Amino acid sequence: MPSDKQDKQFAPYLHTIDIAVCRYNREKEAIEVLLHRRDKAPFKDQWALPGIVVNGDTQDKTIEDALNRLLNSPKVNKSPWYVEQVCTVGSADRDPRGWSSSTVYFAITSDENEVDEHRQYHDLKECASGKLNMPFDHNTLCKNVLERMVSKSLYSNLPMLFLGERVTFMDALKVTSVVLDREVPKGSMGGRFTRMVEEGYLTETDEKISRGAGPKLSVRINPNPGEMYLFDKSFKKTT
């Protein structure tokens, strides 16, 4: 039924949704992206961003439906804390099969290590730089995702979203440094962190966890993981 509407001979081009589901790997101190090993041509067996065809074999009511179908598909199978549309690209030559466009999303998920033969996390920086060679224009897409991530991290707590619900100050400092790829002053981050607690974005707990030497770390709770906090103080508050 769907296939007679989407006859590949006559389809002007494919519109796909591709997604960069990212997590924070604490051991490697790196942001990683979930990739999918392609099981068919073109680029069979190469690691690519998971994607689906909008209105391909399955009819989607909206682009968001297609996005959710991708998130629930075996390629991804995640419920990320945060999802954001990054960009749309399209050209005659990005896919050897013909004209195709792709709408790219960026998502943040927990660091649970659910991998299998066809799902694996790779260093996002290596994907963006091309050190890990990816099919189609997926290296460029990863670069776009990384750029969006970095630019938003300057004026929001986006890096903290990688930490989920249970947050410590030192983890927030570390993950922000990892995302921005430079050392973040402890004092500056401390001020921001204090503000988040004072304004109720983070709530206090008595819980403390230990991570090697030194005092235990106080755990704060982010009741709404995925909700972004803006540090922007440009011009006066809207109040």
Interacting residues with a second copy (CB under 8 A)? 5-7, 9-13, 15, 54-55, 59-63, 66, 85, 87-93, 99, 101, 103, 154-155, 180, 182, 184-185, 188, 231-232, 234-236, 238
* Interstrand relation of 14-25 and 100-108 (parallel, antiparallel or unpaired): parallel
Q: Does 98 bind DNA (CB under 7 A)?
A: no
Residue 238 CA: distances (Å) to CA of 163, 176, 233: 29, 27, 10
As measured in angstroms, the least distance from the Cβ of 201 to DNA is 13
150 binds, among a second copy, DNA, none (CB under 5 to 8 A by kind): none
Distance CA 153, CA 234 (A): 16
Q: Does 185 bind DNA (CB under 7 A)?
A: yes
Residues 16, 101 contacting (CB under 8 angstroms): yes
Distance CA 61, CA 175 (A): 37
Site for DNA in 191-220 (CB under 7 A): 191-192, 195, 208, 210-218
Q: Two tokens at 105?
A: 């999303």
- Helices 169-180 and 138-153, axial angle in degrees (round to 10): 130
Q: Does 239 bind DNA (CB under 7 A)?
A: no
As measured in angstroms, the least distance from the Cβ of 162 to DNA is 17
Q: Please, which residues have CB within 8 angstroms of residue 230's CB and are 6 or more apart in sequence?
A: 155, 156
- Give the one residue of 43, 82, 99, 231 binding DNA; rule: CB under 7 A: 231
Residues 63, 17 contacting (CB under 8 angstroms): yes
Cis check: omega of the bond before 80, within 30 degrees of 0: no
40 binds, among a second copy, DNA, none (CB under 5 to 8 A by kind): none
213 binds, among a second copy, DNA, none (CB under 5 to 8 A by kind): DNA
| Number of C-beta neighbours around residue 180 at 10 A | 14
15 binds, among DNA, a second copy, none (CB under 5 to 8 A by kind): a second copy
232 binds, among DNA, a second copy, none (CB under 5 to 8 A by kind): a second copy
Nearer to a second copy, 30 or 63 (CB): 63
DSSP symbol at 158: G
Nearer to DNA, 30 or 217 (CB): 217
Per CB under 7 A, residues contacting DNA are: 168-170, 185-188, 190-192, 195, 208, 210-218, 231, 233-237
